[in-house]
Amino acid sequence: MTGTSPLPEAVLAGDRRALAKAITLVESTRTDDRRAAAELLDAVLPHTGRAVRVGISGSPGVGKSTFIEAMGVHVVDRGHRLAVLAVDPSSSRTGGSILGDKTRMIELSRRSGVFIRPSPGSGHLGGVARRTREALLLCEAAGYDVVFVETIGVGQSEVAVADMVDLFLLLVNPGGGDELQGIKRGIMELADLVVVNKSDGDLAPAAGRTAAEYRNALHLLRPTWKSWTARAMQASALTGAGIAEVWGAVEEFGKTVATDGELAAARARQAHAWMWSEVHDELLSDFRHHPAVRAAIPTVDAAVAAGTVSATAAARRLLEAFRERPDVAP
């Protein structure tokens, strides 16, 4: 509760403290909180979906924080309300991506109409991604019409972010031919925009070559959208050069994929996939907490490791233990 108005109303009214509180609620793993969070999300859901959702990825040091600050200020100056979220399953171990960066995003965090939320701390990726996705919906409900979701280039986090945003922006460093090979093909396939950052000073010529290389490489990939072809652009988060052009491309993308319902279809697919991954996660959690399964796991695990029971037979044994009393509460 914030003041006298219940949480959903306060969030919808754009109350920042209520939004922060709502996000804390969806981040909670307590069973009763999960239930309250689901009710809250249901209540605000009709008021979501109106933001431009942008995923921003790239290896550590490529300039994500600097870029988010530069493009964020540009976006806010154009009258938008911006929320910045993060998916970083390793954040409490590494000191946090956005949390530490909040000091770097000084100008941005000073602006009104900006909401910055660090990653929900370490945990398994599925959990962190789920909470960030729910936070994104809450930000939309609170009236933020542009959302940046940052992720560091670790494991599957890019895929998780691509599954919750409209446009996936990959930041890369200027460099020689080696640079291209350093980016996993799978990640390039997710990109709707590749931005060669640090296109300034001594690095400018290399940045130009790198952009050309990415242009060629993107050309060879199977397109994600019917109406949009992935682009490679250049920018400098430090000088601000190219930032307006990148944002212009994001806006152009938004208009392009909105026609013919392509964006709506993509979001429907994402929601559908999200539902099934929720079912998957919840079932697995019930399974692991099931008393008979828990009791059987040590013996079965040891037998599989020792090679005395096949993996198939072991899995069946655990599943049978679960199915005998699937209703047993954890």
Ligand X SMILES: Nc1nc2c(ncn2[C@@H]2O[C@H](COP(=O)(O)OP(=O)(O)O)[C@@H](O)[C@H]2O)c(=O)[nH]1
Minimum distance of ligand X from residue 64's CB (angstroms): 3
Using rule CB under 6 A, residue 237 touches ligand X: yes
Using rule CB under 6 A, residue 25 touches ligand X: no
Using rule CB under 6 A, residue 173 touches ligand X: no
Nearer to Mg ion, 58 or 143 (CB): 58
Using rule CB under 6 A, residue 58 touches ligand X: yes
Minimum distance of ligand X from residue 110's CB (angstroms): 17
Minimum distance of ligand X from residue 115's CB (angstroms): 19
Using rule CB under 6 A, residue 314 touches ligand X: no
Nearer to Mg ion, 151 or 210 (CB): 151
Minimum distance of ligand X from residue 19's CB (angstroms): 24
Nearer to ligand X, 157 or 197 (CB): 197
Minimum distance of ligand X from residue 194's CB (angstroms): 15
In the bound complex, which residue of the shown chain has the CB atom lying closest to ligand X?
Answer: 63
Three-state secondary structure string covering the chain: CECCECHHHHHHCCCHHHHHHHHHHHHCCCHHHHHHHHHHHHHHHHHCCCCEEEEEEECCCCCHHHHHHHHHHHHHHCCCCEEEEEECCCHHHHCCCHHHHCCCCHHHHHCCCEEECCCCCCCCHHHHHHHHHHHHHHHHHCCCCEEEEEEECCCCHHHHHHCCCCEEEEEECCCCHHHHHHCCHHHHHHCCEEEECCCCHHHHHHHHHHHHHHHHHHHCCCCCCCCCCCEEEECCCCCCCCHHHHHHHHHHHHHHHHHHHHHHHHHHHHHHHHHHHHHHHHHHHHHHHCHHHHHHHHHHHHHHHHCCCCHHHHHHHHHHHHHHCCCCCC
Nearer to Mg ion, 103 or 312 (CB): 103
Using rule CB under 5 A, residue 69 touches Mg ion: no
Among 62, 129, 165, 188, binds ligand X (CB under 6 A): 62
Which window, 16-24, 55-63, 225-233, 317-325, contacts ligand X (CB under 6 A)?
Answer: 55-63
Nearer to Mg ion, 64 or 133 (CB): 64
Q: Compute the distance between CA of residue 268 and CA of residue 274 in angstroms, rounded to an integer.
A: 10
Residues 140-169 that bind ligand X (CB under 6 A): none
Residues 80-109 that bind Mg ion (CB under 5 A): 101
Q: Which residues bind ligand X (CB under 6 A)?
A: 58, 60-66, 197-198, 200, 236-238
Q: Which residues bind Mg ion (CB under 5 A)?
A: 64-65, 101
